[in-house]
Amino acid sequence: MKRAAAVLVVGLWALGVGAGSPGGAWPSEKVDPAVLREAEAGSAEFLVLMKEQADLSAARTLRTKEEKGRFVVERLRETAERSQGPLLAELAGLGAEVRPFWIANMVWVRGGLDALSAAASRAEVDRIVPNPHVGARLPEEEAAGREPLAVEWGVSRVNAPYAWGLGYTGRGVVVAGQDTGYQWNHPALRPHYRGWNGTTADHDFNWHDAIHSGGGSCGADSLVPCDDHGHGTHTMGTMVGDDGGSNQIGVAPGAVWIGCRNMDRGNGTPATYTECFQWFLAPTDLDGENADPSLAPDVINNSWGCPYSEGCTYPDILKAVVESARAAGIVVVASAGNSGSSCGSVADPPAIYDAAFSVGNTTGTDAIATSSSRGPVTVDGSNRLKPDVTAPGTSVRSSYPTSTYATLSGTSMAGPHVAGVVALLLSARPDLKGDVDAVEFLLASTADPKTSTQTCGGVPGSSIPNNTFGHGIVDAQRLFTLDSDGDGSGNLADCAPADGSAYSAPSEARNLTLSWAGTTVLSWQAPSAPGGTEVVYDLLRSADPADFSAAVCVASGTAALTASDGDAPSGVAYYLVRSRNACGASLGTRSDGAPRSAPSCP
């Protein structure tokens, strides 16, 4: 079977429209200077970002990951197909080569100055940025390989064997990676590949190649998972690898994996990264057909960054892409980068985004690696604290082509440990699939806290979280016992909201809705951060939306996510839900940001 690359070469015969751009003169301020220089030299490859982006906010009200995935994909595709039409028609008239994307509303284009002018002249176009081919800075194999351990040191450090002892190995969870590719039949990877049934392999819906030219030893548009570098095979091994013998290299050996190649011999572009994310949201067969959001992974590992030199001259170039994946209920793990040790060195997408769970690199002594990038994120002006957490990433032994093992170092090696711990959690708590807020909260709040002497962005290294270690080193034992203070068990001594511990007051209940079934019925969703102990709810009614200080308790201490108000007054009434547990309560905040207050309910 030969897969057709997702590229359209469009010309006058295709759509029958005239060439030229509306309005004559075109606004070059929309265009990155590098794109203009390349187009003036003859031909340019660039990305056209549309102003309209799909509104995915309603996905938060949906209860399951499958529901979120279907909604997000449908909304994204509808927005792109509707808004890109006129642009594609005009580019068709100019014979430009295009590849439309829907995960973010943008179009890859290869064309001359006329195509660039046409795109820039359109009112619906926001900006035009480059898509250059520049080699990534990937870690190299270390000269002295380590001997295999019964369980590799990083796997032990995140306490994965504790979860295994409870029977949770990642079973029922799908992990994904986009990287240099994967040697799918590596002895430590083949048993865990979703496309392997023990006898034969089926790569439909389990593998995608975003490299459409070149491709090194793998060639372009490879129909089987292939790795032309080694980096990808190594990262997947840390997530799920186990050969059934002496090579227990993976954190979640019970999980299954799927993959996408986003780099050509270490060379990625914003377009290839975007294409892999898009495929993960709705995996297709090898012909690029029959997209199915129900086959999307639960977590995606991204052991790569898109620096300025690779075309990410606009910091938000992949922001909508990552946010779409999160809206679909997929945890996006991203390596923080290897540009440390200075403050503000977490500087490349996707690690800079709030929607990504970013990971720094620790050594065998729990020290931060010198090269591990530090926060805060300054490149987009957010001053966002990063990384979110840290994990083992120094001298990590894992799978490598061809059917061998190698030792590498970097945040690329740290991220897969975290993706593996996500898989362990979801195998124990499948009800959390699709609830990215809750998953990230639990991993961060139960991380082993670490401090530093380095103050970055005004945040002392002595505080938790900080811009060196984030919340600390991910720890499956702390996660599974909800033990934030490290005393060996989860208990109310772990109530410590100041450091974000797992045993803390819950966050506010979500998505309160009202319906009528002979009486007024209120429904809501549980907090994204339940705080580690049983949550109950109070339903409060007030005549004043800004003042609940004298509210009526309609329901008190209910564990249900619904309650009826048989005494609802005529006219207008306002409702709030208070979530509470043994550590505290939350009513949310007013529009001015101040916390709400209301009387206690019996």
**Active-site amino acid positions:** 179, 231, 412
- Long-range contacts, stretch 18-21, CB < 8 angstroms, 24+ apart: 18/93, 19/93, 19/94, 19/114, 19/118, 20/93, 20/114, 20/118, 21/90, 21/114, 21/117, 21/118, 21/120, 21/121, 21/122
Report the DSSP pairing between strands 207-209 and 256-261: parallel
Helix (H, G, I), strand (E, B) or coil at 331: strand
Secondary structure (DSSP) of 338-355 = S--SSTT---STTTTSTT
Closest CA to 408 of 152, 139, 136, 138: 139
**Count of all residues that appear for the chain in the document:** 602
Structure tokens at 73: 């994909």
Q: In whole angstroms, what is the distance from residue 93 CA to residue 98 CA?
A: 12
Q: In whole angstroms, what is the distance from residue 46 CA to residue 272 CA?
A: 12
Q: Which amino acid would we find at residue 441?
A: F
Q: Which amino acid would we find at residue 578?
A: R
Q: In whole angstroms, what is the distance from residue 417 CA to residue 475 CA?
A: 10
Q: In whole angstroms, what is the distance from residue 346 CA to residue 529 CA?
A: 26
Q: 518: burial class by Cβ within 10 Å (0-12, 13-18, 19+)?
A: exposed
Answer whether the bond into residue 307 is a cis peptide, omega within 30°.
no
Q: What are residue 69's phi and psi, to 5 degrees?
A: -60, -45
Q: In whole angstroms, what is the distance from residue 222 CA to residue 407 CA?
A: 27
Asked if 273 and 321 count as a contact pair (C-beta separation under 8 A), the reply is yes
**Residues near 442 by beta carbon (within 8 Å), at least 6 away in sequence:** 425, 432, 479, 482, 502
Rg (CA), the chain: 25
Q: In whole angstroms, what is the distance from residue 159 CA to residue 171 CA?
A: 17
